[in-house]
Chains A and B, each alone.
Chain A
């Protein structure tokens, strides 16, 4: 158990290191960020050169990298070239927006997906099952950026029911600003949350379906049926508890995936979260922020997966023995 955790941690560490080298060099080679922070229509080449020197961008890339790593070890990701704020603080500032989006999306996706999955699983090979399966493939085939655009077209432009983008007014909870606390904020949240939820509904439904089929064909379910237990009782007392582990697993993992996929949805809905920050920073070549954002998303993803595994061990006695 302990060795597994250490192994995981060292692997995560290695991952971050490799990623940081690649990302660092990658952004370095694209262009000079100085052009985004001086007035390019007035600045002299001398101004540009001095600004480049001031940011340390004239140094060989390896020097820059080692200085960056040195700073990161002291907990400092550097200062954003564009916003002039500590990069990590900037990422943390955008986190509530992304979190609330992912949480609301999951609150839509998990119950809907489980419900559809149960429905399909219990009516295996019936028309309902096939329709749900087909629809799930279709849902998984819509690229998330196009889905977002179509939601804007239908939900905002044609009907005017929801705003076309942006984050609404916020309320304060636990010292943080959340937009789901206000009515307008919820309205603004609806479309992006739906865009993020739809593919996850499909995934969760498929998983729940196969879980249900597996459990219901097992001996103990047949035994229950033979005993004359009502189908509802079998479902809630036996089937659901037995398929809850894989469902929780997929929900946990998908939550991490949502944090990453928010990149697309956020930039379309102009949602000021971590994902939009990443894309904006890539386009503005704001390297400290890109590095901080990438590191944050990776850590969150790896940590979530580790948590899910841990949960698995706690919940399922069989894996405890084999681990």
Chain B
């Protein structure tokens, strides 16, 4: 079974509904949710950390009665535990921001399509404005303005991402809005909110859904990058990105494990999301075959 998935992964898309990347992604989610049960240490609790065992190499036995499977970082935190807890933060930030961005973006796109010339111009100007800058730059400006913290980084990611959804959705909604059933709805004098949410939205949402996995991958990567640059989540509660950042200075002196393992976890996460995203896109868009 497993080798089968492995083979199809590298060759053609199989007929099976469960692909290897999806399995991995599901494993990630499970690990993130159950992380605190599996992790031998709570890396956020100073009382559970033995500072003098900092920078221990993988496999060293620790004072807490467990082995540092993946070693410890410069502050003595168990890397394995840090990865599990960091995974939770990374996924939480990515899921929350993507969901919020998708909701806001789709709503804005549909509203633009429905609201007539002025509203459309207003919303789409902002969208154009934002999309004419590299995302990393928008994210940097946003996070510098908002300051550090998990809530802030979610907000920054929403600011970065909503525009893409808005543009895509508006395009579909425009063509949808010109269809006759909406004229009928107008004639029936249904309230605008009802027309938008009951008719326009459900019919324009498909392209936004294909965007979700791609943007989810972006969100994970962006959060990690911002945290790496020291502008993201606070250092005492590291996400995967800040865990990698913490290990950067040790990397040059040979303590590779501090940044290698969180980095691998991060890479695996983004890769599995991106592969799942590709599958989704391929299934929904037969032309890309």
Q: Which residues of B contact A150 (CB under 8 A)?
A: 260, 263
Q: Does B134 contact A257, Cβ atoms closer than 8 Å?
A: yes
Which parts of A252-280 form the interface with B (CB within 8 Å)?
256-257, 259-261, 263-264, 267-268, 278-279
Binding-face segment, A9-17, A79-87, A96-104: A9-17
**Known A26-B145, A301-B133: A143·B225 in contact at CB below 8 Å:** yes
In the complex formed, the residue of A with least CB distance to B273 is A141
Taking a contact as CB atoms closer than 8 A, the residue among B12, B141, B273, B278 that contacts A22 in the complex is B141
Q: Does A301 contact B134, Cβ atoms closer than 8 Å?
A: yes
Binding-face segment, B68-76, B94-102, B227-235: B227-235
B75 to chain A, nearest CB (A): 19
**Known A26-B146, A260-B136: A145·B224 in contact at CB below 8 Å:** yes
Q: Which residues of A contact B256 (CB under 8 A)?
A: 153, 157
Chain B CB within 8 A of A23 CB: yes
A146-165 near B? 1/0 per residue, CB < 8 Å: 10011011000100000010
Give bound CA distance, A256 to B131, whole Å: 13
Q: Does B134 contact A141, Cβ atoms closer than 8 Å?
A: no
Q: In this complex, which of A125, A140, A146, A164 has the most chain B Cβ atoms within 10 angstroms of its Cβ?
A: A146
In the complex formed, the residue of A with least CB distance to B245 is A145
A99-141 near B? 1/0 per residue, CB < 8 Å: 0000000000000000000000000010100110010011011
Q: Which residues of B contact A141 (CB under 8 A)?
A: 217, 221, 267, 270-271, 273-274
Q: Does B144 contact A282, Cβ atoms closer than 8 Å?
A: yes
Chain A CB within 8 A of B132 CB: yes
Chain A CB within 8 A of B140 CB: yes
Q: Which residues of B contact A127 (CB under 8 A)?
A: 10-11
Q: Which residues of A contact B125 (CB under 8 A)?
A: 11, 14
Taking a contact as CB atoms closer than 8 A, the residue among A14, A130, A282 that contacts B129 in the complex is A14
Q: Does A144 contact B225, Cβ atoms closer than 8 Å?
A: yes
Q: Which residues of A contact B288 (CB under 8 A)?
A: 210
Give bound CA distance, A305 to B133, whole Å: 10
**Known A143-B266, A264-B228, A301-B132: A149·B274 in contact at CB below 8 Å:** no
Q: Which residues of B contact A149 (CB under 8 A)?
A: 244, 248, 251, 259, 263
**A interface residues, how many (CB within 8 angstroms):** 54
In the complex formed, the residue of A with least CB distance to B288 is A210
Q: Which residues of B contact A61 (CB under 8 A)?
A: none
Taking a contact as CB atoms closer than 8 A, the residue among B10, B231, B252 that contacts A282 in the complex is B231
Give bound CA distance, A192 to B10, whole Å: 30
Chain A CB within 8 A of B137 CB: yes
Chain A CB within 8 A of B202 CB: no
In the complex formed, the residue of A with least CB distance to B272 is A141
**Known A138-B271, A143-B270, A146-B263: A22·B145 in contact at CB below 8 Å:** yes
Q: Does B144 contact A260, Cβ atoms closer than 8 Å?
A: no
In the complex formed, the residue of B with least CB distance to A135 is B10
**B interface residues, how many (CB within 8 angstroms):** 47
Give bound CA distance, A259 to B267, whole Å: 23
Give bound CA distance, A134 to B279, whole Å: 11
B229-270 near A? 1/0 per residue, CB < 8 Å: 111000000000100110010011010100110010011001
In the complex formed, the residue of B with least CB distance to A297 is B137
Q: Which residues of B contact A196 (CB under 8 A)?
A: none
Chain B CB within 8 A of A42 CB: no
Q: In this complex, which of A22, A164, A267 has the most chain B Cβ atoms within 10 angstroms of its Cβ?
A: A22
Chain A CB within 8 A of B119 CB: no
Q: In this complex, which of B144, B217, B260 has the most chain A Cβ atoms within 10 angstroms of its Cβ?
A: B144
Give bound CA distance, A263 to B252, whole Å: 20
In the complex formed, the residue of A with least CB distance to B13 is A130
Taking a contact as CB atoms closer than 8 A, the residue among A29, A140, A145 that contacts B147 in the complex is A29
Chain A CB within 8 A of B128 CB: yes
Q: Which residues of B contact A145 (CB under 8 A)?
A: 224-225, 228-229, 241, 244-245
Q: Does A11 contact B145, Cβ atoms closer than 8 Å?
A: no
**A residues whose Cβ falls under 8 Å from a Cβ of B:** 11-12, 14-15, 18-19, 22-23, 25-27, 29-30, 125, 127, 130-131, 134, 137-138, 140-146, 149-150, 152-153, 157, 164, 210, 256-257, 259-261, 263-264, 267-268, 278-279, 282-283, 290, 294, 297-298, 301-302, 305
Known: A26-B144, A142-B267, A301-B137. 9 other contacts (CB 8 A): A26-B141, A130-B12, A134-B10, A138-B271, A142-B271, A150-B260, A157-B256, A264-B229, A301-B134
- Pick 25 A–B contacts, CB within 8 A, sort by A: A11-B132, A12-B132, A15-B133, A19-B141, A26-B145, A131-B10, A134-B275, A137-B275, A142-B267, A142-B270, A143-B221, A143-B224, A143-B228, A149-B263, A157-B251, A157-B252, A157-B254, A210-B288, A260-B136, A261-B134, A263-B137, A282-B140, A294-B141, A301-B132, A301-B137
